[in-house]
Amino acid sequence: MAYSDSERDGFRLSQLIYDSRYRAITIQAVTLALVVAGIFWLIMNARNNLAALGLTPSLDFLSNPAGYDIAFYLIPYDSQMSHGRAAFVGILNTLLVASLGCVTATIVGVLVGVLRLSNNWVVSRLMAVYVEGFRNVPLVLWILLFFAVLSESTPAPRAFKPDENGVSQASMYLSDSFAFTNRGVYTPAPVWSDGSGWLVAVFILSIIGAIYYRRYARKLLFDTGRLLPMAWPALLILVVPALLAYFVLGRPVTLDYPTLGGFNFKGGLNIPNSLLALWLALTVYTGAFIAEIVRAGVLSVSNGQTEAAFALGLRPNRTMSLVVLPQAMRVIIPPLISQFLNLTKNSSLAIAVSYPDVRATLGGITLNQTGRALECMLLLGLFYLILSLAISLVMNIVNNRMKLRER
């Protein structure tokens, strides 16, 4: 293998195998050919099998009436709407529980992770028990457990009815606006009437205003050293215009309170137990993992940083928020992304409590009623894939922003 330059004159086929310059091309070509052939083989098999069974794959079934009701929907739906609509209802439900779960799991995870490092013996022990207990038992069990506990520990709507003595066994909270029943939580729902669009517009404008005020105050601080009050003016900017608009426009947004009628509460917003159980279980399960990530992140910041901050005279909570956490974030974010992904995928375990997510509508009842296993599973897989890729994309952008700019 001395000098191969002299052999440039001719290209021999054996070079494809023995010459490392060309071998890479050969290997890639062979791999690609094998993969393509494999996929082709699978597709041909599927075609032959389906033909033998007399089935033709098509997505026409999506426009047929679904015929079943869905317990919880974010967009209007009834049993006469199409399978496609039912699938979309499921998709929205999946997105809802996944996003709720991500937010609360992060909160729980950060709290627990920090508390586990606390000096308080009871608290740190309890947090350790929580983390180990929840991490080491399958999520399905937790979902089932929360579902059962929610329905066993709360009263039935019947208990809210006064008996013959006028005494009811259970009562609603906050002047009859919240009811915790074994079917779900009933809360007041906002009713948007004419003019509510203006109100929303005003509110959005005041949010922007508050952000600008904070920016201005910070700039002023850095430029001139003058410290403007941050919290209360921002709050005023946020609240006052919205309140004024609310009354000027003649109270366009009212609340619809749940009232007891017939078998159930009527009106208001109903959060079913299946959603609550799934949400809670995803929160505490993923929260346990996030707590470990946070703890590792905080521990990864060397003690010298804390000591330096103390030496500068920073208070402990400022040290945490200004010195330790920003550095810990770099360690925390990448594993946090994969926890969010896991949570999103784990939301498909809604099957255990039959929360109507996309697996339950498209991959469950629709599949079962139409028998279109191939089409339903492909669509389902595609949906989760796109969702996962979108989440990793967004989080990677965040990660790149948080990265330490090395100098």
User: Quick one: 255 or 377, whose CB is closer to other proteins?
Assistant: 377
Give the end-to-end CA distance of the chain in Å, rounded to a whole number: 42
What is the rounded CA–CA span in Å between residue 302 and residue 143? 38
Question: How far apart are CB 324 and other proteins at their closest, in Å?
Answer: 18
Helices 83-116 + 325-346 axis angle, to 10: 140
DSSP output for 221-281:
HHHH------HHHHHHHHHHHHHHHHHHTT--EEEE--EEETTEEESSEEEEHHHHHHHHH
Phi and psi (nearest 5°) for 167? -110, 130
Question: How far apart are CB 107 and other proteins at their closest, in Å?
Answer: 16
Question: How far apart are CB 123 and other proteins at their closest, in Å?
Answer: 5
Question: How far apart are CB 306 and other proteins at their closest, in Å?
Answer: 18
User: Quick one: 53 or 167, whose CB is closer to other proteins?
Assistant: 53
Instruction: Count Cα atoms within 13 angstroms, Cβ side, for 93.
Output: 32
User: Quick one: 169 or 193, whose CB is closer to other proteins?
Assistant: 169
- Give kind and range of the element (H or E) at residue 402: helix 373-402
User: Quick one: 163 or 243, whose CB is closer to other proteins?
Assistant: 163
User: Quick one: 26 or 399, whose CB is closer to other proteins?
Assistant: 26
Question: How far apart are CB 371 and other proteins at their closest, in Å?
Answer: 4
**Structure letter (DSSP) for residue 121:** H
User: Quick one: 206 or 346, whose CB is closer to other proteins?
Assistant: 346
Question: How far apart are CB 109 and other proteins at their closest, in Å?
Answer: 17
**Structure letter (DSSP) for residue 62:** G
What is the rounded CA–CA span in Å between residue 182 and residue 270? 12
